[in-house]
Amino acid sequence: MIIPLVGAALIALCDRWPDLRETVTIVTAGLLFGTVVMILPSVLAGGRPELALLEMLPGLQLKFTVEPLGMMFALVASGLWIATSIYSFGYMRGNDEHNQTRFYVFFAIALSSTMGVAFSGNLLTLFVCYEVLTLSTYPLVTHHGNEDSMKAGRTYLGILISSSIGLFLLAILWTWNVTGTMDFKPGGILGDRFNGLMTGVLLALYMFGIGKAALMPIHRWLPAAMVAPTPVSALLHAVAVVKTGVFCVVKIIVYVFGIDKLRMTPEGDWLLYVAGFTILTASIIALRQDNLKRRLAYSTVSQLSYIILGAALANSLGIIGGGMHIAMHAFGKITLFFCAGAILVASHKTEISEMDGLGKVMPITFIFFLIGSLSVIGLPPLGGSWSKWYLMLAAAEAGQVKFMFVFMLSSLLNIAYLMPLVARGFFSQAKEDFHHHEGGHHGKVNFWNGVRFGNIREAPPFCLLAMTITSVGCILLFFYADKIYRLLAPVAGIQG
């Protein structure tokens, strides 16, 4: 947590030297990822490193514990910060964004709080870091400072703060009052102290209180926040914010409720139906969006509930599938948002209906969009196929055949709202000449305005590099999914 905070201070000091500022940003991101990787062998060997930082009240500590689920989340978030930083260098300069130093500073603070969430050892620490993440990302959502951004920021802050204070905090206090502890414990801490209706009500307070999970109807903040710069959208959808939400959902179901208790509590079954409703409804809404970022935003709302539904199935395969989907969706969706930003920088297009023939002008970007789409859809050889496979197996094992159909129907809807952009780009006739305003200078590379070569007009090289990294990640996750499985196995109660 300290590394990004120190990085944020150094970034602020480098305001007058953009190249140095961005060097500090990428070095900080690399140091954070390297530090997280250093902890991994201990966790794989069964270790659970702990740190009690501060005792706020007797028995109430800010406490950090590294366990496998948090380890996976920290690896994903810190690793993707590197890719997002590289992308931001090209996007922020290529789009001539203002207040770039402030952007990088708050991005680093957001990553610090994300690490706090990932390694939280109890509910108090989780809540504090969760709130810091909300506050540190507000300036990013309102980055442009115009009326639309400020309105989106009010929606963002209003929904997330009101849900966390009014519901999430209430659930934590109720849990502490009844159980006498806030510490996370394998198998859960509720035991027999909560039963029947009380368990169902407590579950509702947690699930709707964790607004970052975007469970309907606590989801409006996410599409509203799409007015922010694309790297912020990447932060919201892949690196930190929404993944923090679903990570909290899985962690609380595993370490507060316990999957055995939740499975034996019919009063908790409502979560299955709300998650299934969110998956399908958000997918249908995505179909109707012409703005590319809004379409991807509603896709994210849908995909997050895959993870919630997997956890709500309350079996080992559901936890494995949901945990895997945190990583798989992160790489697929960040690739799609990177492509959306690349299209904006290179062609100034935001509406899908305006992108006919654009794939012939930006073939690299559209190929990356295809890779990200196929991963989100869940086709081999891309990582998303494994998480959806385990989620389907989890539904079958739980005897919930109807939710197998929810997953299958949603995947068909994924095809319906993602693939038309690829088809329009490569196979439709352009409605305008994308090259008419380009001068000669073919073959030159302008690092901040994009790549020009003949009829090809791509995004800045830094954007292309970041998209290459995440696209390759989508493929590698397919071949190395067993590593994630083995990391998550102890969380799901799978031995050996």
Which range, of 40-44, 197-201, 407-411, averages the lowest pLDDT?
Answer: 197-201
Whether residue 14 contacts residue 101, with contact meaning beta carbons closer than 8 Å, is answered with yes
Residue 485: name the closest of 474, 475, 496 by CA: 496
Handedness of CA 219, 224, 225, 230 (dihedral sign): positive
3-state secondary structure of 460: coil
Q: Which pLDDT score is estimated for 310? A: 94
Q: Which pLDDT score is estimated for 448? A: 55
> Backbone phi, then psi, for 175, in 5-degree steps?
-60, -45
Domain presence at residue 404: yes
Domain presence at residue 79: no
Q: Which helix (H) or strand (E) holds 452?
A: strand 450-453
Residue that the structure tokens 């706090």 belong to: 116
pLDDT-derived band at 496, boundaries 50, 70, 90: low
What are 118-163's pLDDT values in tens digits? 999 999 999 999 999 999 988 888 877 778 878 888 888 899 999 9
Whether residue 383 contacts residue 389, with contact meaning beta carbons closer than 8 Å, is answered with no
Q: Which helix (H) or strand (E) holds 56?
A: strand 50-57
Percent of the chain exceeding pLDDT 70 equals: 93
Domain presence at residue 372: yes
User: What is residue 120's DSSP assignment?
Assistant: B
Does residue 474 or residue 265 have the better pLDDT? Answer: 474
Residue 249: name the closest of 215, 201, 297 by CA: 215
DSSP class per residue in 143-199: TT-SHHHHHHHHHHHHHHHHHIIIIIHHHHHHHHHHHS--B--TT-S-TTSS-THHH
User: What is residue 429's DSSP assignment?
Assistant: P
pLDDT-derived band at 419, boundaries 50, 70, 90: very high
pLDDT-derived band at 405, boundaries 50, 70, 90: very high
Domain presence at residue 228: no
* Rounded CA separation 26/79 (Å): 11
Domain presence at residue 431: yes
Domain presence at residue 456: yes
The answer to whether residue 307 scores a pLDDT higher than 80 is: yes
What are 14-50's pLDDT values in tens digits? 888 888 988 999 999 999 999 999 999 999 998 999 9
Does residue 399 or residue 439 have the better pLDDT? Answer: 399
What are 69-108's pLDDT values in tens digits? 999 999 999 999 999 899 888 877 766 677 888 889 998 9
For Cα atoms 31, 328, 284, give the angle at the middle one, nearest 5 degrees. 130
What are 431-485's pLDDT values in tens digits? 665 554 443 334 444 555 566 665 667 878 888 899 999 999 999 999 999 999 9
**Total domains in the fold of the chain:** 1
Token pair for 84: 């997002």
pTM of the model: 0.90
Domain presence at residue 116: no
Which are the contacts of 493, defined by CB distance < 8 A and separation ≥ 6? 186, 259, 316, 319
Q: Which pLDDT score is estimated for 95? A: 65
41-44: long-range contacts, CB 8 A cutoff, minimum separation 24:
42/66, 43/67, 43/68, 43/71, 43/487, 44/486, 44/487
What are 48-66's pLDDT values in tens digits? 999 988 887 777 889 999 9
Handedness of CA 28, 465, 352, 449 (dihedral sign): positive
Q: How far is CA 314 from the centre of its chain?
A: 22
What are 213-261's pLDDT values in tens digits? 889 988 888 877 777 677 777 766 667 888 899 999 999 999 999 998 8
Q: Which helix (H) or strand (E) holds 60?
A: strand 60-65
| β-pair partners for 52 | 63
Q: Which pLDDT score is estimated for 360? A: 87
Which range, of 376-380, 409-413, 436-440, averages the lowest pLDDT?
Answer: 436-440
Q: Which pLDDT score is estimated for 493? A: 83
The answer to whether residue 428 scores a pLDDT higher than 80 is: yes
Domain presence at residue 115: no
What domain range includes position 297?
Answer: 269-496
Q: Which pLDDT score is estimated for 303? A: 92
For Cα atoms 304, 308, 314, give the angle at the middle one, nearest 5 degrees. 155
- Compute the average pLDDT of residues 181-196: 86
Percent of the chain exceeding pLDDT 90 equals: 56
Q: Could you tell me where the DSSP H helices lie in 253-361? A: 259-263, 270-287, 292-312, 316-347, 358-361
pLDDT-derived band at 346, boundaries 50, 70, 90: confident
Q: Which pLDDT score is estimated for 375? A: 95
| AA letter at 209 | G
* Rounded CA separation 315/324 (Å): 14
CA separation, residue 235 to residues 33, 87, 147, 177, 284 (Å): 16, 12, 22, 35, 24
* Rounded CA separation 44/482 (Å): 13
Count of alpha carbons within 13 Å of 163, Cβ hemisphere only?
Answer: 27
pLDDT-derived band at 347, boundaries 50, 70, 90: confident
